[in-house]
Amino acid sequence: MKIQTYSPEWAREIADLFYQSVHAIDPAIYTPEQKAAWAPAPVNYELWSERLSIKKPFVAIIDNHVAGFIELDSDGHIDCTYTHPNFQGIGVASSLYEHLLSQAKEVGMTRLYVEASLIAKPFFERRGFTVVKQNEVQRNGESLINFSMEKHLNHDHQGA
């Protein structure tokens, strides 16, 4: 697995990965209607291309395929963390997060924060994030629950 900075040739694959990863979530966690509101069909490739050219996510590549991506804004906001269903459970999100964390520390960020879905909340908790509040977000007529979470970084050599 290689972690690289976004390149435009991956835009369509990232957009498809987002759609597929949302729709692969267990319906006991998010209903089909909630998933359709979160990641509607058809995928808007033009919108994704514009978004990705601004966000410039870190991308995990395995065998020339996009396995996952994560976005870090300049203020410490983690905007997206998604892994393709075919690559889940093998450390893709963990590798992306570790890369993001090292980049955040390198530029002197003191805090990371995220709005984590029900499915992502345990991932961030295991990495030292704490819940600030629970949110109810309206998307295309559906109510979705997520969690505002944060982590304060220290800059010693023991890691944060």
Model confidence pLDDT, tens digit, residues 44-76: 999 999 999 999 999 999 999 999 999 999 999
| pLDDT attached to residue 154 | 83
Rounded Cα distance, 159 and 14, in Å: 30
Residues 5-33 have a mean pLDDT of 97
Rounded Cα distance, 131 and 116, in Å: 9
Distance from CA of residue 27 to its chain's centroid? 20
Residue 159 scores a pLDDT above 80: no
- Read off the pTM: 0.93
| Residue entry with tokens 């704490």 | 130
| Structural domains in the chain plus CATH codes | 2-109 (3.40.630.30)
Indicate the pairing of strand 77-83 with strand 130-139: unpaired
Task: Say what the alpha-carbon torsion angle 34, 113, 122, 54 is, to the nearest 10 degrees.
Answer: 50
Task: Give per-residue pLDDT as tens, 89-136.
Answer: 999 999 999 999 999 999 999 999 999 999 999 999 999 999 999 999
Rounded Cα distance, 62 and 24, in Å: 20
Q: Please return the burial class of 85, using the count of CB atoms within 10 Å of its CB with bins 0-12, 13-18 and 19+.
A: middle
